[in-house]
Amino acid sequence: MKPLYENFIASARAIIEANYDDEDFGCPELCDALHMSRSHVHRKIKKALNTSTSGFILRVRMEKAKESLLKDTETISSIAYKVGFSDANYFSRLFSAFYGVSPTQYRQSIMKVP
């Protein structure tokens, strides 16, 4: 990440982390919270992280899901809802695309490690 954008990305991440469980939280809500236009937020995120605003929000949600899979014994569906997805199957497909394994496979691989 470019040093010029560290504070901006930290602020954006903090806002996302405070709202990642809200399935209605997305780009417009992030832009409102940052008091910036959508194009300005997208441009800064793209330059800093080489991803879209929605991609950044998804990344934070997937990181939170991964943490929950490690710590919690909740069902995959519960974790999906906890990180802002109303459809557990959609969550599982996105998790698989993001990490290359399903949430269940990820949890099982972690549990096998001594």
Q: What CATH number corresponds to the domain at position 84?
A: 1.10.10.60
CA dist 7 → 3, 33, 48, 75, 81 (Å) = 8, 15, 11, 35, 29
Mean pLDDT of 32-39: 96
Within a 10 A sphere around the Cβ of 65, how many other Cβ atoms?
26
Predicted confidence at residue 52, as pLDDT, reads 96
Percent of the chain with pLDDT over 70: 96
Determine the average pLDDT of the residues in 83-105: 95
Give pLDDT, residue 5: 85
pLDDT category of residue 71 using cuts at 50, 70 and 90: confident
pLDDT level of residue 114 (50, 70, 90 thresholds): low
Closest alpha carbon to 54 in 87, 28, 21: 28
Residue 1's pLDDT band (boundaries 50, 70, 90)?
low
Per the structure, how many domains does the chain have?
1
Tell me which residue of 34, 44, 32 sits closest to 4, measured CA to CA: 44
Which 3 state secondary structure label does DSSP give 99?
Answer: helix
pLDDT of the residue at 104: 92
Domain holding 44, by residue range, is 3-112
For the chain, give the mean pLDDT.
92
pLDDT score at 2: 61
